[in-house]
Amino acid sequence: MRERPETTHWIVRSFYCAVVGKMPKKFPWDDGVLRDLAVLDPTRRAYLDTEDKDTNTGMSHDKHIIFVSLANKFFPMVNQEDLKDEYQLLEDSQITLLDGEGKPIRVDHVWASILRMKTLMGEERFPNLKLTMTVPATQ
């Protein structure tokens, strides 16, 4: 068997392989934020248990409460009541999940189409959702 030369490329590749190998052990799999992110996947929203228990308080709450709580952790300046109302208005029937060929549409593309929705008056239909789903590149 031929030995590999210690090239920079090989050393960098070995480093990243080692890092990726350790990630599953260090990843916070039981983190509540990761669990709550399921409400952002339109394909999973319909199948999520509507009665989830909060691991901190033990209280049951609906998907819209989970969404608002999650958004509040990262965007506390958004009006929570308005955000809850918008999330409740977001009906699964309004969301196109398949393209013309019957293939699933990527989640980011689904959310982009949701955030482009307008009211009959031409205003943004979900302005608070847009605030929470669009992270500015600079402050």
Beta-carbon contacts of 2 under 8 Å, excluding residues fewer than 6 positions away, are: none
| Cβ 11 vs Cβ 42: under 8 Å | no
Copy the structure tokens of residue 58: 């033990």
DSSP H or E stretch at residue 52: strand 52-53
In a domain, 114, yes or no: yes
The mean per-residue pLDDT over the stretch 66-79 comes to 82
Chain segment 36-46, per-residue pLDDT in tens: 787 788 777 66
In a domain, 99, yes or no: yes
Rounded to the nearest integer, the mean pLDDT of the chain is 78
Domain count, the chain: 1
What pTM was estimated for this model as a whole? Answer: 0.63
Give the pLDDT of residue 59. 44
In a domain, 18, yes or no: no
Give residue 138's pLDDT band: very low, low, confident or very high (50, 70, 90).
very low
**Residue predicted with more confidence, 49 or 72:** 72
DSSP H or E stretch at residue 60: strand 60-61
Q: Give me the domain span that covers residue 93.
A: 30-133
